[in-house]
Structure 1
Amino acid sequence: MSSFLLNVYKKIVSGLIIIVCIFSLFLAAGFISSSNITFFKFKVNGNIGADLFLRIISYENPLIGHALSGVNPDFSIISTGFKLITNIEMNDLRSLVRSEIPGFMSFDSNFLIADEGVDFTDIPNESAPPMDVLLQERNMAANELKELNSGNGPTGAPPSEKSVFIYHTHSWESYLPLLGLDGAENENDAVDGKTNITIVGELLGKELERRGIGATVDKTNIGQELSKKGWLSPRSYDVSRTLVKSAMAANDHLDYFIDLHRDSFRKDSTTAVINNKPYAKLVFVIGEENKNFQRNVKFANELHQFLNKNYPGISKGVLPKKGIGVDGVYNQDLSGNSLVVEVGGVDNNMKELKNTVEALAEAISQIYWKAEKVNGQ
C-alpha cells in the first residue's frame, strides 16, 4: 500500500474513532441522567437544578438551607462534572441551543423549588398586547359575575391596621371566561382594563380580612399610567414601584407585598382538581437580582410547602428569574416578604380563582399569625 493511501486510511480511522467516542460520550451521559445509581454516596440522576450553587453554599449558610427545605438535596457528581466541562446539562435539552438561538436566554430558567412533575415547560409565560388593546374596558360575563357574588357572607369590621399590600403590575391581565370568551384560541385576548386580575386582588384582600389580617388592594390601571407617560409595557415595574414606595411611606406597618399576575398557559397546565374542587394553579416568582432574594425564597417556600401539604398540586413551585429581557428584581428589593404570584392562566374561571384565593389567603394567614406570635413573645 502506498504511503499516500496509508495516510488516507489512518485519517479515516482516526475520524471514525472520534465519532464513536463522541457518540459513546452522549450515550453515557444519557444513561447517567436517566439512572438512579449511587456513586460515592451521592445520588446520580442528572438532576442539577438552577439551585446547585445555593445547595453548595447552604452547607455554610443555614438560612439558605432552610429556604431550600423540601427540595431533594442530592446532586450528581458525574452530571456536575460533565456540565462544567461541556456546559451541557444532561437532563435539559435547552443547554444544547441556549447560546445559539437569539433571545432564547430571556426564557431560560428553572424552578428552584418545584412540585412533582413540574419542569421548565411549566415556566410562566407572559406577553403584552398593543396599548390600544390593553386599554379597552369590558363588563364581566353574567355567569362569572354571579359566581363572583355568590357565597360572600358578612366579613365583619376590617382590621384597622393594614399589614398586606396587594397590587398588580400587569393589571390588564385577565381571564377568557370572565370576558365571555371561553375557549378562545388566542391567549392574548385575555386582556382588559376593567375586568382583570385586580378582581382577584380584591378577593384576596377580603379573604385576608376574614382571617383578621388588614390588607390594602391597589387597583391602579397600569396600562393607563404607561399611556400617560408614553412608556411601553416593559416599564410597568417602574410604575408599580412608585405605588409600593408610596404605600410604604404612608404606612410603616406594611410587612407583606403581593404582586398578582396570571399565566398565559392554557387550562390543562393551570388547573388542578383537589378533593373534587377545581383550583387555579399558583407559581411564586422571585427576582434573582434583588438583595432580598434569600428572604423572598424563604417566604415563597413556606407558602408553597403549606399549600401543597393541604392542597396537593395547587402550587407548581418557586421560580427564580434573571437575565436579558427579564426584570430580575420585581420590586422585591423593597421587602423581604415580597412576591410575584401567578394565579392560574387565561382559561381559569371565577370558581377556580375563588377556590385558589381562599387557599392562598389561608397560607398567608398561617405565616402571618405564626410571625405575630413569635414577635409577641
Structure 2
Amino acid sequence: MKKNNKNQWSDRYRTSFSRFGLALLAGSLFLMFIITIITTIEQDKYFSSRYLHTWSSHVQKELLGAFFSYENRHFLAGEGLEKPNVSSMVFEFMTNLNVEDPRTLLRNELPGFAAFDGRIVVAGDGTDFTTMPVESAPPLEILLEKREATTNRLELLEDQKEKAVSGEPVVHIVHSHSRESYLPELEDGTNVAFHPDVNVTLVGERLGKKLEEKGIATKVDKTDIEKKLHESGKDFSDSYDISREVVQTAMSENDKLELFFDLHRDSQPRDVTTVTINDEKLARTMFVIGENHASYEQNLAMATALNNKLDEQYPGLSRGIITKGGTRSNGRYNQDLSEQSVLIEMGGKDNTLDEVYKTADIMAEVISEYYMERQAEPVGGEGDK
C-alpha cells in the first residue's frame, strides 16, 4: 500500500514538473514572438504612441516613488509625489482614454480630429488646442494645377542665391511640403495656397542667405517634393518619405552637417499667425517635434533653446512648441535622423512673404547664436551630434 502511494506521488511530481516545463517553454516562445513583432514592425506605426510613453513616464514617477517609500521613508517627504491610482493607470493603458483629456475619446470618433491631437509643450501667446498647426492639402492633382503669382518675387530674389561663405555647409534646410505658399502672393480669387515657384522654399533661401551672412555655411534644398510625389504615384501624406531621402543623401555626402530644419507654412488664419512687434507686422513661428522615435527629447531640447531665445528677444513672435506622435500622425518628421533637427512653421497662408522674410531674418539671428554656443561647448560635452 505504501509503495503504491509512493508511486502515485512520484507520478504526480513528474506530471507537475512536465507541466511546469511546458508552461515555461510556451511562455518563452510567446515572449520571443512578441519581441520579434515589436522589433520588426515600423517604429512609427504601432508601438511608438506618445500615449504609451506618457503612461510609462507616469508609472515611473508614481509607482516607483511609492515603492521606494516603502524602503526609504525619506521619499515620503518628496515634493510632487502622490499615491498612485493603479486603476486609472490600467484603464488608460487598456483603452487609450484619459478621463482628464476629452480629446482621447473624440479623436477616435470624429474624422479629422487627429489634426488637433498634439501636446502643447510651450504655449505662446494665444496658443491652445484650437490654434495648433494644421496640415491641410487638397488632392495632389489640384495641388499641382498651374497658378499665377501676383508678384515678381523670383526676379527680386535672385540675389539670395549668392553664396557668402565658403566651406562645407553645417546647416541643412529642407521643405517637406515644398509648394506651400502664401495667398497674398497669388492671383486674386485663389483659395489654394500652393505654388510651384512662389512658396516656402523662398523662405528657406532667405533664411539660408542670412545664416551665410553670419558666417554659417548653409545648404538650402529646393526639391519639388509634390512633383516627385506625382511622378512616383504617391500621396501627399508620403511627403516625409521623399524629404527623408533628400536629407539622408545630404548627410551621406557631407558629414559636417550639424543642424537640420524643415520649414513649413501653417494653414491657420492671419489673426493666429501674425504679430506686431516694434510697429512691424511679423509672421509667427511654431516648433513641431515628433515623438515617434527614441531620441525625440533631444530634438525637443533644441526647439526649447531656440524658442527661449525668440521669447527673450522678440516676445510674442513664437506661438510655442508642440509635439505629435501616435499612429494618426507622422510623429517623426525625419527628426530621428539627427538629434539636432526641428520642424518650424513659418507664418500662415494669409501672411505676406515680406512678413515671413522678416521672421526668417530673426530666426537666422537665434540659430546663429545657438550654433555658436554649441561650438563653444567642450568636446564630448552635451550637445554633440
| TM beyond 0.5 | yes
TM-score relative to the length of structure 2: 0.71
Cα offset for 1:114? 1.6
Asked if residue 332 in structure 1 is aligned to residue 335 in structure 2, the reply is: yes
Amino acid at match of 1:134: L
Question: 2:292 is paired with a residue of what secondary structure?
Answer: coil
Correspondence for 2:137: 128
Pairwise CA RMSD: 3.4
Distance 1:166 1:276 in 2: 30
Distance 1:299 1:216 in 2: 19
Which 5+ residue runs of structure 1 have no aligned equivalent? Answer: 1-49, 61-73
Judging changes above 3 Å, is the alpha-carbon distance between structure 1 residues 57 and 179 closer, same or farther for their aligned structure 2 residues?
A: farther
2:269 to 247, 266, 270: 266
Contact 1:112–1:320 at 8 Å: present in 2 too?
Answer: yes
Correspondence for 2:48: none
2:375 to 347, 372, 377: 372
Asked if residue 297 in structure 1 is aligned to residue 300 in structure 2, the reply is: yes
Cα offset for 1:163? 0.5
Distance 1:211 1:55 in 2: 43
Q: Tell me how many residue pairs correspond in the alignment.
A: 308
Cα offset for 1:161? 2.5
Q: Deviations over 1:151-187 (max 9, x none)?
A: x799773232200110100111100011134xx684x
Amino acid at match of 2:168: E
Correspondence for 1:177: 184
Which 5+ residue runs of structure 2 have no aligned equivalent? Answer: 1-52, 65-78
Cα offset for 1:130? 2.0
Contact 1:261–1:341 at 8 Å: present in 2 too?
Answer: yes
Q: Deviations over 1:314-347 (max 9, x none)?
A: 1111111112331111111100011111111000
Question: 1:273 is paired with a residue of what secondary structure?
Answer: strand
Correspondence for 1:255: 258
Correspondence for 1:141: 150
1:162 to 157, 165, 169: 169
Judging changes above 3 Å, is the alpha-carbon distance between structure 1 residues 299 and 271 closer, same or farther for their aligned structure 2 residues?
A: same
Q: Deviations over 1:202-241 (max 9, x none)?
A: 0010010011101101101111111111111111111111
Question: 2:266 is paired with a residue of what secondary structure?
Answer: coil
Correspondence for 1:355: 358
Question: 1:111 is paired with a residue of what secondary structure?
Answer: strand
Amino acid at match of 1:158: V
Contact 1:106–1:323 at 8 Å: present in 2 too?
Answer: no
Contact 2:61–2:81 at 8 Å: present in 1 too?
Answer: no
1:344 to 347, 354, 359: 347
Distance 1:210 1:369 in 2: 14
Distance 1:230 1:128 in 2: 16
TM-score relative to the length of structure 1: 0.72
- Please list, as runs of the form range in 1=range in 2, the aligned pairs for 1:1-377 lying within 5 A after superposition: 88=98, 93-95=102-104, 97-102=106-111, 104-105=113-114, 107-138=116-147, 140-142=149-151, 157-181=164-188, 186=191, 189-375=192-378
Aligned residues with identical type, % of pairs: 39
Based on CA coordinates, which of the two structures has the bigger radius of gyration?
2
Contact 1:165–1:257 at 8 Å: present in 2 too?
Answer: yes
